Amino acid sequence: MRTVEWDYTNHKLRLIDQHALPGEFSYLSFGDYREVARAIRNMVVRGAPAIGVTAAFGMALAARQSRARDTASFLQDMNRAAEELRNARPTAVNLSWAVERMLGVISRQPATPESLRAALLDAAQQLADEDVRTNQEMALFGASLIESGDTVIHHCNTGSLAAVEWGTALGVIRMAHQQGKAIHVLVDETRPRLQGSRLTAWELEQYGIDYAIITDNAAGYFLQSRQVHKVLFGADRVAANGDVVNKIGTYMLALAAHANHVPVYPVVPLSTIDLGTQNGEDIPIEQRSPDEVLDLMVNGMPVAPADARARNPAFDITPHRLVSAIVTEAGIIYPPFKRNIRRAIEHNLK
């Protein structure tokens, strides 16, 4: 199951429609990079790795849409597309990382617009295939941290739906399950958009992994009563010092785990680590529409008064002191993070 894939017959990008899950499994097709940017912004597709690859294919679509006949005009068109795609969701560093990789294809190949169109599509496809390999490598490292009989709390959705295929933190759980380890997953609902109860629970059912959905604010109870052995989640950006920016609610979960001596493991590709950002406070936090909070219905009735206001940050910052280790495709990175993150990235580049 690929969340993001190119339709070579119709020359369009296909995305699993994550708005429709779990009730319906369906794909949407996109032939315009502006539509792709809206799909990212409106969370038709979500998850840092999936967003990055989607943006790369968006750049390939922009190349197909450009009517430029010379390289200079073509580059202008591509820069406009890059800006719109970058701005779709500012917190996830994989998005800008993927866009920059695509612009790098143009700068390395001063050729005709036609040859660049083909090169950009090839580069986007390579990025997609690379994401699957990266996720599987992370899963093998992360599975070594999981023991048979473990109960794991998982926040948000980090499976195949958050990547091209396989997933990050949920990919670790999936790999451990395939290795024959008995695992029970406590799935945070992940309010306000409920990616845990809508998406992670659906994925766990596909894999045949035992789970139970819990409200976000129940995590502390399970941690305090020693019913949890590990906490796993992904990240939208990791700063150079190991601070983790992830879906809102991650900080409270990490705090409760740390207070109860339960290890906390973000699972992230190296592309999600931003060495140019020194700490989490320097990372922009996306503020989403209050409607995501206020439009919640129970038994067909709104849960908030008609004139209620809401604030809706999409992410929070988990300080590195609450993190036990960071799982990447280059291995498991332990503290001190500032030194060891840089070493892992430099070693991976050799």
The token duo for 113 is 């617009």
CB neighbours of 72 closer than 8 A, spacing ≥ 6?
A: none
Alpha-carbon gap, residue 174 to 155, rounded angstroms:
15
Q: Say whether both 102 and 149 belong to one domain.
A: no
269, 260, 257: which is closest to 319 by C-alpha? 257
Angle (CA) 128 130 136, round 5° = 110
Number of compact structural domains in the chain: 2
- Measured CA to CA in angstroms, residue 309 lies from 193, 205, 293, 299, 305 at distances of 17, 36, 9, 21, 9
Which among 86, 118, 136 is the end of a domain? 136
Q: Say whether both 92 and 203 belong to one domain.
A: no
Range of the domain at 106: 4-136
Q: Say whether both 170 and 98 belong to one domain.
A: no
Beta carbons within 10 angstroms of residue 293's beta carbon: 18
Write the pLDDT tens digit of every residue in 266-314.
999 999 999 999 999 999 999 999 999 999 889 999 999 999 999 999 9
Task: Please tell me the total number of residues recorded for the chain in this structure.
Answer: 350
Omega before 22 cis (within 30°)? Answer: yes
Q: Say whether both 175 and 309 belong to one domain.
A: yes
Q: Say whether both 103 and 230 belong to one domain.
A: no
Q: Say whether both 179 and 278 belong to one domain.
A: yes
Q: Say whether both 209 and 340 belong to one domain.
A: yes
160, 157, 74: which is closest to 120 by C-alpha? 74
Angle (CA) 316 272 229, round 5° = 65
Write the pLDDT tens digit of every residue in 163-180.
999 999 999 999 999 999
Q: What is the pLDDT of residue 110?
A: 65
The token duo for 281 is 């406070």
Alpha-carbon gap, residue 153 to 136, rounded angstroms:
21
* CATH number of the domain to which 280 belongs: 3.40.50.10470
Q: Say whether both 201 and 306 belong to one domain.
A: yes
236 in catalytic set: yes
Which among 103, 136, 169 is the end of a domain? 136
Is 80 exceeded by the pLDDT of residue 349?
no
DSSP string, 238-280: EETTS-EEEETTHHHHHHHHHHTT--EEEB--GGGEETT--SG
Alpha-carbon gap, residue 132 to 139, rounded angstroms:
11
Count Cβ atoms within 10 A of the Cβ of residue 148 and give its class: 0-12 exposed, 13-18 middle, 19 or more buried: exposed
Q: Say whether both 46 and 177 belong to one domain.
A: no
pTM over 0.85: yes
Which among 78, 107, 136 is the end of a domain? 136
Catalytic residue among 236, 243, 274, 316: 236
Contact in structure between 258 and 264 (CB atoms under 8 Å)? yes
Q: Say whether both 119 and 169 belong to one domain.
A: no
Task: Identify the residue with better confidence: 334 or 69.
Answer: 334
285, 273, 342: which is closest to 89 by C-alpha? 285
- Measured CA to CA in angstroms, residue 125 lies from 17, 36, 151 at distances of 20, 16, 36
Contact in structure between 157 and 195 (CB atoms under 8 Å)? yes
Write the pLDDT tens digit of every residue in 183-239.
999 999 999 999 999 999 999 999 999 999 999 999 999 999 999 999 999 999 999
Write the pLDDT tens digit of every residue in 248-272.
999 999 999 999 999 999 999 999 9
Q: Say whether both 295 and 343 belong to one domain.
A: yes
